[in-house]
Amino acid sequence: MQQIFAYSRLYSFTYSVFKSIGCTDADAETATKALLSADIRGIDSHGVARLSGYVRLWQAKRINATPTIKIVHETPSTAVVDGGSGLGLVVAPYAMQVAIDKAAKVGTGWVSVRNSNHFGIAGYHAMMALQHNMIGMAMTNASALVAPTFSVERMLGTNPIAVAIPAHDQPPFVADFATTTAANGKLEILQRKNADTPEGWVQDEAGNTSTDANILKKNGALLPLGSDREHGSHKGYALGSIVDIFSAVLSGASYGPWAPPFPAYVPMPQNMPGEGLGHFFGAMRVDAFRPADEFKQHMDNWITRFRAAKPAEGHDRVLIPGDPEREMEAIRMKEGIPIVGSVVDDLKKVGDMFGVGL
């Protein structure tokens, strides 16, 4: 049912596919690293499983493999980047680097991006800041699948937020989460198992609570983090909205229900108010606030104290954001990355298109 692949094998395959659609060597490398970071970290929905989707967007001429990516407006601490319809996997690291360079000069850097595409996992881009002793932030808007509180209309994407914070001896704090109760990838896993969702993840076309993992195909919607009004869904709705506005209204990308859909077969929305998908990146130099070593030692203290918090019955430990993904990375770099059969078949088809063996 599933096959195990070494990272190096997935790397050379993915790199070759990106080269085949016309990416430069450097862009193919950048895109491959960003995409596979999801597989390594255990976020299987956002890794090679999406490679054929990117290729289809390229075929539909919605992704330009040789984009002109440029800064179109800037101040000492901000920039707007036009992604030139490029792979988000290439545009995002470019924009995050702009944020890092600005932070190096004036303390912080904030970059809003338009005319881009799906950028893989937000955490990968946020983590670029860590090696510079900076806090990194990344967010993106996405195809509308989420209904606001009290609504049945899909107005927002799963709009993730990632924040990466360096520590000293402890591993970094890395939060990376969709602003919905459950990410779409979780539904896909249940669909493959023919299983129901828990209550509170999705609603049907009329706004009634549902446990149908296929409800998005029946005009249902994902629910904002909090699930319903009584449990704070208006907060998840606000968070998803903030991500949408920072990523797309600030930059001039297409926002809300007009965000371009990921599946190439879905027609583009009418009357789009901006260009492509939007992202938002931030970098804050730790020593723009206090000496970096002092900050990082306090982060060690923070992490150690939270890890020592008394666990609830049935649990042996309290996790720090980033722990599960880092532990998964250690395992998968050693033992390989499991890919489900349907994705392996899909990758083989993509390989056949370009004469690239998996």
* 260-319 residues near a copy of itself, rule: CB under 8 A: 273-274, 284-286, 288-290, 295, 298-299, 301-302, 305-306, 309-313, 315, 317-319
Listed in sequence order, the residues at least 6 apart from 251 whose beta carbon sits closer than 8 Å to its beta carbon are 80, 81, 112, 113, 114, 274, 278, 279, 280
- Smallest separation (angstroms) from a copy of itself to the CB of 52: 29
Question: Total residues contacting a copy of itself (rule CB under 8 A)?
Answer: 83
The SS3 call for residue 176 is strand
Q: Which C-beta is closer to a copy of itself: that of 33 or that of 235?
A: 235
The string of DSSP letters for 277-309 reads EEEEEEEEEGGGTS-HHHHHHHHHHHHHHHHTS
- Identify residues 179-208 at the interface with a copy of itself (CB under 8 A): 179-182, 198, 200-201, 203, 206-207
- Smallest separation (angstroms) from a copy of itself to the CB of 40: 20
Question: Applying CB under 8 A, which of residues 231, 269, 328, 353 lies at the interface with a copy of itself?
Answer: 231
The SS3 call for residue 25 is helix
- Identify residues 109-168 at the interface with a copy of itself (CB under 8 A): 110, 112, 147-153, 155, 163, 165
Question: Applying CB under 8 A, which of residues 232, 269, 336, 338 lies at the interface with a copy of itself?
Answer: 232
Q: Which stretch binds a copy of itself (CB under 8 A): 9-17, 59-67, 103-111, 122-130?
A: 103-111
Q: Which two tokens stand for residue 291?
A: 């000496």
- 49 touches a copy of itself by CB under 8 A: no
Question: Applying CB under 8 A, which of residues 9, 70, 73, 218 lies at the interface with a copy of itself?
Answer: 73
Which one, of 55, 78, 52, lies nearest residue 65 by Cα?
55
The SS3 call for residue 273 is coil
Give the β-pairing of 78-82 and 70-75. Answer: antiparallel
Q: Which two tokens stand for residue 69?
A: 């990516």
Q: Please, are residues 115 and 29 in contact by the beta-carbon 8 Å criterion?
A: no
Q: Which residues pair with 281 in a beta bridge?
A: 111, 138
Which one, of 241, 248, 244, 271, lies nearest residue 80 by Cα?
248
Listed in sequence order, the residues at least 6 apart from 7 whose beta carbon sits closer than 8 Å to its beta carbon are 36, 39, 40, 332, 333, 336, 337
- Smallest separation (angstroms) from a copy of itself to the CB of 258: 8
- Identify residues 77-96 at the interface with a copy of itself (CB under 8 A): 77-78, 80
- Smallest separation (angstroms) from a copy of itself to the CB of 334: 25
Q: Which C-beta is closer to a copy of itself: that of 194 or that of 271?
A: 271
Q: Which C-beta is closer to a copy of itself: that of 2 or that of 301?
A: 301
Q: Which C-beta is closer to a copy of itself: that of 272 or that of 344?
A: 272
Question: Applying CB under 8 A, which of residues 83, 84, 88, 256 lies at the interface with a copy of itself?
Answer: 256
